[in-house]
Chains A and B, each alone.
Chain A
Amino acid sequence: MQFMLLFSRQGKLRLQKWYVPQADKEKKKITRELVQTVLARKPKMCSFLEWRDLKVVYKRYASLYFCCAIEDQDNELITLEIIHRYVELLDKYFGSVCELDIIFNFEKAYFILDEFLLGGEAQETSKKNVLKAIEQADLLQESETTFASSCVKLIL
């Protein structure tokens, strides 16, 4: 996988993960182009499209689009299920996840993604194992600081 983008129906980028180095300018260009392309597609259309020399696999969950760019030899359907498994992980961790969870707990969203996918490849596909790793980290966090509240509450 070359990159994964999460963006809202309004085209706001919510999470970005690049597995192949890109210049900042290029990242912005890619994001703009892809968000436009995907948002323009109708609901019943197929989840795959050719884009530049990559294959794009996307799926919409409520107000959020999950969009992965994979290489020619990669498997579209299994990528679709990578997206789904990630959503399940978020859902399980946050308890009925919604877009706001990802906005305000972005660091958790990144940590969960890193446990699940690394370098663009599935690292651990067991839901239990991924969540166990995250929970362990949370325990460390609880024990080491008296400020148990989420860091995000401090923002802005």
Chain B
Amino acid sequence: SRAGFTGPENLSRVNLVLVKHYSQTLYTLYIRSVYHNLSKEAEIKRINKELANIRSKFKGDKALDGYSKKKYVCKLLFIFLLGHDIDFGHMEAVNLLSSNKYTEKQIGYLFISVLVNSNSELIRLINNAIKNDLSSRNPTFMCLALHCIANVGSREMAEAFAGEIPRILVAGDTMDSVKQSAALCLLRLYKASPDLVLMGEWTSRVVHLLNDQHMGVVTAAISLITCLSSKNPDEFKTCVSLAVSRLSRIVSSASTDLQDYTYYFVPAPWLSCKLLRLLQCYPPPEDGAVKGRLVECLETILNKAQEPPKSKKVQHSNAKNAILFEAISLIIHYDSEPNLLVRACNQLGQFLQHRETNLRYLALESMCTLASSEFSHEAVKTHIETVINALKTERDVSVRQRAADLLYAMCDRSNAKQIVAEMLSYLETADYSIREEMVLKVAILAEKYAVDYSWYVDTILNLIRIAGDYVSEEVWYRVIQIVINRDDVQGYAAKTVFEALQAPACHENMVKVGGYILGEFGNLIAGDPRSSPLVQFNLLHSKFHLCSVPTRALLLSAYIKFINLFPETKATIQEVLRSDSQIRNSDVELQQRAVEYLKLSSIASTDVLATVLEEMPPFPERESSILAKLKKKKGPGAVSVELEDGKERGELNGGADRGGEAAIAASNSTPSPSSDLLGLRSAAPVGGPAPSAGSLLVDVFSEAGSAPPSAASEDPAPPLFVCKNNGVLFENQLLQIGIKSEYRQNLGRMYLFYGNKTSVQFVSFTTTVSCPGELQSHILKCIPSLTHTKPVEPLVEGGAQVQQVINIECLTDFVDAPLLNIKFRYGGALQNITLKLPVTINKFFQPTEMAAADFFQRWKQLSQPQQEAQKIFKASHGMDTEVLKAKLLGLGTALLENVDPNPENYVCAGVIQTKIQQVGCLLRLEPNAQAQVAPPPPPTHTHTHTHLCAHALDSHTASVCPSLCGSHCITHCTHLHVITRYCIYVKDPHRVGSSKSH
């Protein structure tokens, strides 16, 4: 059946229908306001008049009957939908909800769904009306109420109904249509306020809705199940086998079996897609039979794609291919069936040449992910010619963009030259909107797969020639870094750039590269009379007046380098520097350079000049700044290139060792005059201390430490964080988690920074913090969601960083650390990471200063065995006073100087603040140097405080000590004897000031 909209679009048809339905006045108004836009003013005037009329009706003395109320509320809605603001009528709409007439109720609900944005006062009234309708047992009213909840979905509604709706959903006597609405209503509430929808007995029954006889119920319920499964996979894992058998029944059914759920000869396309989507929340089924059945389904779907279409309608092929693409997503998600992956790839290959633009677009997009699978990478590569052709001939820029992404994703050493050449030639005509990204991609590929460096230099110079305006600083900095670090390419680079500069009009970026390279390596080509020193200089200087100030500054530095390289140019260059246009330049930077360089060249001896203007030392090895830039720009096509990055880079810049030396060289070359002279200060990040992939995070954690802990560590908290509050908590290939925390009294605030190290976005990114066991009653946390966007977006873009704040309140002392669980999808695969949050009891220390007499008096008072914890331990490193002091201060206590008569000892004092009690602690650390000579007897390493735990009146209190004395506090001394004595002050309002010590 052809929909009316598909008919020829013209006014006469509209007229015809109009006469059929509507009065002449409406027609006139409509035509005027919509088609001609002539009387916008008239329309506004008319509407204002109408609004005034409605307002007066609502405010009038006479109570309006339901019918009139409905009429005016409906008018307000109409006016709103015409694009005008409505600021009244809400109350009247709410009144309509309690009408027992269906149409009045319906209009009331519609108004609220369209116009109410959780206005808290009204919501209570609305909730009351909804409550009545939900309990009315009238399915039509129930559905209206459920639709309203699903449309508004506010937190207040979740608070009111999150308990009730699951009951309606699984009750045996609920009508199918109500079940459908209830399922999706619950989904909306769960998405908006997951904390309010509590799992319970209903969850297992929801899973069984997958078996429901009514296809509509399954279609609705599965969306809910998919969302719940992605958040709580374990609780819902029984859905896998149910989903597989349902899918299998649909896939194998004849096109007429499912009656009205068959859409253009495709059985239940929406449900099939949702089933395949649900399965993507899980790894491949472990049960062999289930897996076999699923593989069979996937094969059938792939087979059907090859069958002749049952209809020529685009709806048929769209529905069929929707299932196919979803099946391919699942195959890619599993990434374990080489056979299916290759078949998927071949199928997509066919689509690459399909006449439907939509299919070509999707095939290119889907192949991008296939390219990153080791099983299908080669198969994807076979389509290179088609993809290149798409890049050249597609008329739609968004399709060309996909083609460029795919070329980038399928690039490897074998085809890099071809792909880079094609991308370069595409750049000449590429849309402005994608040029910068293309430039970055070309630059990255050229560097990554450069086998010979002359090719690399040629490519980048071509890039500057073709798309100079789009070549960002990162790109030309990078080519210079590489040329400087590779002496085998320097001569070639000088020659090539010299030739490129011969062009009458060349891009300023070319001048920059030219100036820099000739200034460093111009001597390598000076032997040829065609590029003698003076020729080189004249060539550079011919561009000078066309350039911007920063480029001129760079050129001036190149000139002074020339004076060092080629003494014969000295006179000429000095003359240039001396000219008014330089030495009196209105720009302070240029003037200063001219003055200084002139002076330097006149007074410095050749030796001094040679030292000051020495060749640049190699740049320290680091991640390509271009890659970082691309990550920032986001590139969905950057997938595979990313992961190999580490191993590829080393080769290019001459290996990490060399990088290390370079770093030393750079830092040793005292004030490093040359780097400053060349005006690359703005390029500091280029040569800066390798921030690596986590560069985004580096500024936040200046003391990030050289060795971030590899993964979740064993004991209470990662040892690194006992004595410090900031640093890198976790890092792997994909994700870096930085932490910054601050504590005051018994409160703490922790900032977690999740940095996506890849260029691909993380999907369904969620984090949860849990307090295992009795910890729950000991720490109170409220955890606002990720704060970078509101509402929480479960996406973390490539290269992006999101921040989360966790508030912590220490109720009483504790041993275990809270757990942080992070889940997200990276390229389809579910990542699940659990870490211990570095919250230890000592974070709540408040340092206390006290005098010697005071200290020892208190020390003696705390003489009960259960008030003391001792530990003697040996550490691997030598004793360094400063390190020890730093550790003790990091612990949070006050380090008391001149208190202990023995200057070798350290004493500290502090009060641990918890909500219900305070624990005063005195700590004494006695380094024992002799023990180094004579190893102490075996029990040295035992925890002498064990007896303490047994006898403690309050076992929680005792636990303070182990965490204080824990060996992770102080690990770098040879032999230490730590004694901690403590007392507890219970905060009791009735006994203020009285302190009680156990």
Q: Which residues of A contact B (CB under 8 A)?
A: 8-10, 12-15, 19-21, 23-24, 42, 44-50, 53, 61-64, 72-73, 75-78, 80-82, 84-85, 87-88, 90-92, 94-101, 103-104, 106-107, 110-111, 114, 118-129, 133, 136-137, 140-141, 144-145, 147, 151-156
Contact A121/B269 with A12-B83, A107-B107, A114-B151 known, Cβ cut-off 8 Å: no
Q: How far is the CA of A148 from the CA of B261 in the complex (A)?
A: 33
B451 in contact (CB, < 8 A): no
Contact with A along B316-348 (1 / 0, CB 8 A): 001101100110010000000000000000000
Please give the distance in Å from B754's CB to the nearest CB on chain A. 16
Are A46 and B3 touching (Cβ within 8 A)? no
Q: How far is the CA of A9 from the CA of B34 in the complex (A)?
A: 10
* CB interface residues, B 195-240, toward A, < 8 Å: 215-216, 219-220, 223
Please give the distance in Å from B143's CB to the nearest CB on chain A. 8
Are A24 and B7 touching (Cβ within 8 A)? no
Q: How far is the CA of A4 from the CA of B317 in the complex (A)?
A: 23
Are B219 and A45 touching (Cβ within 8 A)? no
B315 in contact (CB, < 8 A): yes
CB contacts between A and B, total, < 8 Å: 259
Please give the distance in Å from B204's CB to the nearest CB on chain A. 22
Contact A75/B318 with A62-B7, A87-B5, A119-B184 known, Cβ cut-off 8 Å: no
Q: Of A8, A95, A110, A111, which is in contact with the most chain B CB atoms at under 10 Å from its CB?
A: A110
Are A76 and B34 touching (Cβ within 8 A)? no
Are A98 and B75 touching (Cβ within 8 A)? no
Q: Of A77, A85, A133, A145, which is in contact with the most chain B CB atoms at under 10 Å from its CB?
A: A77
- Chain B residue numbers with a CB within 8 Å of A49 are 398
Please give the distance in Å from B801's CB to the nearest CB on chain A. 15
Are A47 and B358 touching (Cβ within 8 A)? yes
Are B6 and A61 touching (Cβ within 8 A)? yes
Name which of B19-27, B525-533, B770-778, B934-942 contacts chain A.
B19-27
Please give the distance in Å from A114's CB to the nearest CB on chain B. 5
A61 CB contact (under 8 Å) in B3, B46, B147, B399: B3
Instruction: Give 4 new A-B contacts, CB below 8 A, not counting A15-B81, A45-B357, A125-B271.
Output: A49-B398, A62-B13, A100-B14, A107-B77
Please give the distance in Å from B410's CB to the nearest CB on chain A. 20
Q: Of A24, A80, A121, A127, which is in contact with the most chain B CB atoms at under 10 Å from its CB?
A: A121
Please give the distance in Å from A118's CB to the nearest CB on chain B. 4
Closest 4 CB pairs of A and B: A61-B5, A77-B322, A96-B4, A119-B188
Contact A156/B46 with A64-B5, A97-B5, A103-B30 known, Cβ cut-off 8 Å: yes
- Chain A residue numbers with a CB within 8 Å of B191 are 20, 119
Are A107 and B106 touching (Cβ within 8 A)? yes
A118 CB contact (under 8 Å) in B147, B315, B795: B147
Name which of B66-74, B88-96, B665-673 contacts chain A.
B66-74
Q: Of B5, B177, B396, B764, which is in contact with the most chain A CB atoms at under 10 Å from its CB?
A: B5
- Chain A residue numbers with a CB within 8 Å of B101 are 144-145
Q: How far is the CA of A61 from the CA of B219 in the complex (A)?
A: 27
Contact A122/B4 with A104-B22, A145-B101, A151-B107 known, Cβ cut-off 8 Å: no
Contact A53/B3 with A100-B22, A155-B78 known, Cβ cut-off 8 Å: no
Please give the distance in Å from A70's CB to the nearest CB on chain B. 12
- Chain B residue numbers with a CB within 8 Å of A125 are 215-216, 219, 261, 263, 268, 270-271
Are B17 and A100 touching (Cβ within 8 A)? yes
Are B9 and A53 touching (Cβ within 8 A)? no
B761 in contact (CB, < 8 A): yes
B611 in contact (CB, < 8 A): no
Q: How far is the CA of A90 from the CA of B215 in the complex (A)?
A: 22
Are B140 and A84 touching (Cβ within 8 A)? no
B185 CB contact (under 8 Å) in A15, A63, A84, A119: A119
Q: How far is the CA of A14 from the CA of B843 in the complex (A)?
A: 58
B987 in contact (CB, < 8 A): no
B50 in contact (CB, < 8 A): yes
* 30 residue pairs from A and B, CB less than 8 Å apart: A12-B34, A46-B398, A48-B362, A62-B7, A63-B9, A73-B280, A75-B322, A77-B321, A78-B273, A78-B326, A98-B5, A99-B14, A100-B14, A101-B17, A104-B21, A104-B22, A110-B114, A118-B180, A118-B181, A118-B188, A122-B223, A123-B180, A123-B216, A125-B215, A133-B177, A140-B102, A151-B70, A152-B74, A155-B74, A156-B50
Are B791 and A140 touching (Cβ within 8 A)? no
Q: How far is the CA of A90 from the CA of B5 in the complex (A)?
A: 10
- Chain A residue numbers with a CB within 8 Å of B923 are none
Q: How far is the CA of A105 from the CA of B395 in the complex (A)?
A: 39
B192 in contact (CB, < 8 A): yes
Q: How far is the CA of A71 from the CA of B849 in the complex (A)?
A: 57
B110 in contact (CB, < 8 A): yes
Q: How far is the CA of A99 from the CA of B102 in the complex (A)?
A: 26
Contact A128/B260 with A8-B34, A137-B102 known, Cβ cut-off 8 Å: yes
Q: How far is the CA of A72 from the CA of B827 in the complex (A)?
A: 11
B358 CB contact (under 8 Å) in A42, A77, A123: A77
Contact with A along B261-295 (1 / 0, CB 8 A): 10100001111011001001000000000000000
Q: Which residues of B contact A (CB under 8 A)?
A: 1, 3-9, 13-14, 17-18, 21-23, 25-26, 29-30, 34-35, 37, 46, 50, 67, 70-71, 74-75, 77-78, 81, 83, 101-103, 106-107, 110, 113-114, 117-118, 140, 143, 146-147, 150-151, 153-154, 177, 180-181, 184-185, 187-188, 191-192, 215-216, 219-220, 223, 259-261, 263, 268-271, 273-274, 277, 280, 315, 318-319, 321-322, 325-326, 329, 357-358, 360-362, 395-396, 398-399, 761, 763-764, 791, 793, 795, 797
Nearest A residue to B66 by beta-carbon distance?
A145
Contact A48/B1 with A53-B797, A119-B184, A119-B188 known, Cβ cut-off 8 Å: no
Q: How far is the CA of A132 from the CA of B526 in the complex (A)?
A: 88
Please give the distance in Å from B24's CB to the nearest CB on chain A. 12
Please give the distance in Å from B533's CB to the nearest CB on chain A. 52
- Chain A residue numbers with a CB within 8 Å of B23 are 153
Contact A46/B357 with A81-B319, A85-B263, A152-B78 known, Cβ cut-off 8 Å: yes
Q: How far is the CA of A95 from the CA of B5 in the complex (A)?
A: 11
Please give the distance in Å from B98's CB to the nearest CB on chain A. 15
Are A75 and B277 touching (Cβ within 8 A)? yes
Are A96 and B7 touching (Cβ within 8 A)? yes
Nearest A residue to B83 by beta-carbon distance?
A13
Please give the distance in Å from B106's CB to the nearest CB on chain A. 7
Are B151 and A154 touching (Cβ within 8 A)? no
Please give the distance in Å from A42's CB to the nearest CB on chain B. 8
A44 CB contact (under 8 Å) in B219, B315, B357: B357
Please give the distance in Å from B229's CB to the nearest CB on chain A. 13
Are A97 and B22 touching (Cβ within 8 A)? no
Are A104 and B26 touching (Cβ within 8 A)? yes
A144 CB contact (under 8 Å) in B81, B103, B220: B103
Nearest A residue to B27 by beta-carbon distance?
A100
Please give the distance in Å from B6's CB to the nearest CB on chain A. 6
- Chain B residue numbers with a CB within 8 Å of A85 are 263
Nearest B residue to A9 by beta-carbon distance?
B9
Please give the distance in Å from B280's CB to the nearest CB on chain A. 8
Please give the distance in Å from B146's CB to the nearest CB on chain A. 8
B6 CB contact (under 8 Å) in A13, A62, A144: A62
- Chain A residue numbers with a CB within 8 Å of B223 are 119, 121-122
Please give the distance in Å from B244's CB to the nearest CB on chain A. 19
- Chain B residue numbers with a CB within 8 Å of A101 are 17, 21
Q: How far is the CA of A85 from the CA of B263 in the complex (A)?
A: 9
- Chain B residue numbers with a CB within 8 Å of A141 are 102-103
- Chain A residue numbers with a CB within 8 Å of B184 are 118-119, 121, 123
- Chain B residue numbers with a CB within 8 Å of A144 are 101-103
- Chain B residue numbers with a CB within 8 Å of A152 are 74, 78
Q: Of B50, B263, B362, which is in contact with the most chain A CB atoms at under 10 Å from its CB?
A: B263
- Chain B residue numbers with a CB within 8 Å of A128 are 260
